[in-house]
Amino acid sequence: MSIALVAALIGFSSCEREGAKLYEVQVTVEYPEGYDLTVAEGVDVKASNINSGDEYTEATDAQGIVTFNLPAGEYDFTSSTETDEFYFNGTTEGVYVEPESTTFTINLIASSKSGGLIFKEIYYAGSLTEASTSYYADQFHEIYNNSDDTLYMDGLCIGVLEPSGSTASAWVDGDGNLLDVLPVTYHALMFPGTGEDYPIYPRTSVVLAQDAIDHQTDPNGNPNSPVNLGNAQFETYIEAPGKDTDAAGADNLIVMYTTSASMYDWMHSVFGSAVIIFRLPTGLDYQTFVADNSNFMTKPGSTSTTKYFMVNKDWVLDAVECINPDVNKQNKRLPVSLDAGKVSCVSTYCSKSIRRKVERILDGKVYYKDTNNSTNDFLVDCTPTPFVHPTTVDAE
């Protein structure tokens, strides 16, 4: 049955910190219905000030209560815990801590610990050339089989969500909650194959490059780039506008649909896009899917006629909320059930990536951390390491 982990009421406090009046905050976090769990003590809850970026973490007491004393402001509250079989994550965003604040609750969402295909590393920030111009053709996404079973890339799909940049998502219901369907912008892409052409063996990865070249030495590259992607197995070659170059050594993804026929590169915004890998319920028959107008939507509240390829959240295998480094522009586009956190590089064109943490290594096999909370799961501002897996466990 459902139990309260942490409790829930915001009131006044006469405390002060560095001259600022503090308000006592008590928060309730509840397990999903059907999980009969009794552990209440020692569960961390984090309060993040949206404007200042200040963070405060407190642990629940034996009664499952966590109490903060916080300056007035707007906060996001997050909580995470786990059992042997499940991870639990919850977020309540945009809570105003001030005299008029009201009661709120964090609802934990369960995700299984069973492994599957995940993003091991994402390099989206790009690099600067010797002339200090922007270069983003060296972007890559590395996908890892975090299970002990042989899986297949055939028919796997990838896309970034609208909005791709820093604005708040318009894809919400009447209560302001993100929809259960996700709008893919730019190109919706599918890995080729007829079912078992592209195996991905246990604890191995494949690299999807924007351009599968050695960016450090190729005449079309950037000597300042941190990566050689000449060995990438797959490439996001976009044939339609006739401007992209097809690298001979990589297999091309299938363009299922695009919101912009003039785009000649598949883009992950250098400011951070929410990115997903998913499978269609219709399998590899994407033509039937895109022929069905009910699988598309126009942007809510907009007069634009652009139709977006809509993905049900239940089809998603992994999702990462990459966000703008500016704390005032860190808007979520993924529901908590897919990613309860968010992650960012320190700046654009910094030649750095985000990389999933290594949780353990057994018999030489790397087990990456995957709690569906990218704040906890990823390291930031990493030197990109496509094709390479660490040999040591990452510290928490």
Q: What 3 state SS string does 244-288 have? A: CCCCCCCEECEEEEECCCCCCCCCCCCCCCEEEEECCCCCCCHHH
User: Radius of gyration (Cα) for the chain, nearest Å?
Assistant: 22
Q: Is residue 345 a contact partner of residue 110, using CB atoms and an 8 Å limit?
A: no
Q: Which residue has the tokens 């969402």?
A: 109
pLDDT score of 18: 63
For residues 182 and 161, the answer to whether their CB atoms sit within 8 Å is yes
DSSP state of 177: P
CATH superfamily of 4-112: Immunoglobulins (2.60.40.10)
Cβ(200)–Cβ(256) below 8 Å: no
CA nearest to 157, candidates 121, 126, 193, 130? 193
Residue 13 confidence (pLDDT): 42
Q: How far apart are the first and last CA of the chain?
A: 31
Q: What is the mean pLDDT of each run of 10 residues along the chain (396 residues)?
A: 42 55 84 66 86 87 80 89 80 82 76 83 97 97 95 97 89 91 97 96 97 97 98 96 92 97 93 96 89 96 96 96 88 92 94 97 93 95 97 90
In sequence order, the 6+-apart residues with CB closer than 8 A to the CB of 302 are 170
pLDDT of residue 113: 67
User: Identity (one letter) of the amino acid at 137?
Assistant: A
Of 374, 344, 351, which Cα lies nearest the Cα of 166? 344
- pTM, two decimals, is 0.82
The rounded distance, in Å, linking the Cα atoms of 343 and 213 is: 27
Q: How far apart, in whole angstroms, are the C-alpha atoms of residue 218 and residue 209?
A: 15
Dihedral sign of CA atoms 335, 340, 346, 349 in order: negative
Dist. CA 325–CA 327, nearest whole Å: 6
Q: What does DSSP assign to residue 163?
A: S
* Amino acid identity, position 136: Y
Which helix (H) or strand (E) segment holds residue 291: the answer is helix 286-291
Distance CA 105, CA 98 (A): 17
Q: Give span(s): CATH 2.60.40.10, the chain.
A: 4-112
Cβ burial, residue 52 (10 Å; 0-12/13-18/19+): exposed
Give pLDDT, residue 8: 41
